[in-house]
A = this chain, B = another copy of it.
Amino acid sequence: MTQSIKDQKEVTREVNEKLIIDAAEQIFALYGFKGATTDRISKQASLPKANVHYYFKTKSNLYREVLHRILDDWMEAAEDFDTHPDPKSALTNYVISKMKFSRNRPYASKVWANEVLHGAKIAGEFFQNELQGWVQDRTKIVNDWIQQGKIKAVDPETLFFMIWATTQHYADFSKQLEILNDGKAFTDEQYQQKTQQVVRLVLNAVGIE
């Protein structure tokens, strides 16, 4: 008997928690941690403020959850690098994947940038190991390519940092791009073209083509 009721409640909980996390991601991105108020988040989620505290207890907890989800999604993009053996495909697909993330999840990118900018006080606790491991593994791959003469001799860490910086900039500094684009946000077609240009610059940088 209680099973179906419990299920119903759990569904409600899951739905509302997702509503709140989605809303929080956007509000944290737009206003920063301190600037974001639980009141604004609740309004964005179309729920009473008290419910936000009911589900997540504190604003800091909610923020931590938002960061966790972003890191998971960020890691997923790495697959597009790993599943292609040759440098041209791997780099091309990775850059495209990162550019798509900036396009589809601009708030996520901004929340992350904001967090690292201010010292990664919260995220630092849990993303340290993942980041180091990720870079170590891919550094090996890039160094192999260099030894096999497939790409020019470049510092792998600097290369990845450049790819992250450039692709994430399209989300984090979108306002600056908008200003340069006569105040208008990029159309899908414009964004596609910019993506191709970034791919070309990255391939050039390692001497492919």
Interface residues of A (CB under 8 A from B): 29-35, 110, 113-114, 116-120, 124, 127-128, 131-132, 135, 152, 154-155, 157-159, 161-162, 164-166, 168-170, 172-173, 175-177, 179-180, 194, 197-198, 200-202, 204-207
Contacts and interface: CB of A to CB of B under 8 A. Distances in A.
B32 A180 contact: no
A114 B169 contact: no
The 3 closest A-B pairs by CB, nearest first: A165-B169, A34-B35, A34-B34
B135 A175 contact: no
9 contacts: A34-B35, A35-B35, A35-B118, A114-B117, A120-B176, A154-B197, A154-B204, A155-B197, A158-B197
Secondary structure type dominating chain A contacts: helix
Contact of A201 (B118, B132, B159): B159
A141 to B, nearest CB: 16
Contacts of A118: 30-32, 35, 110
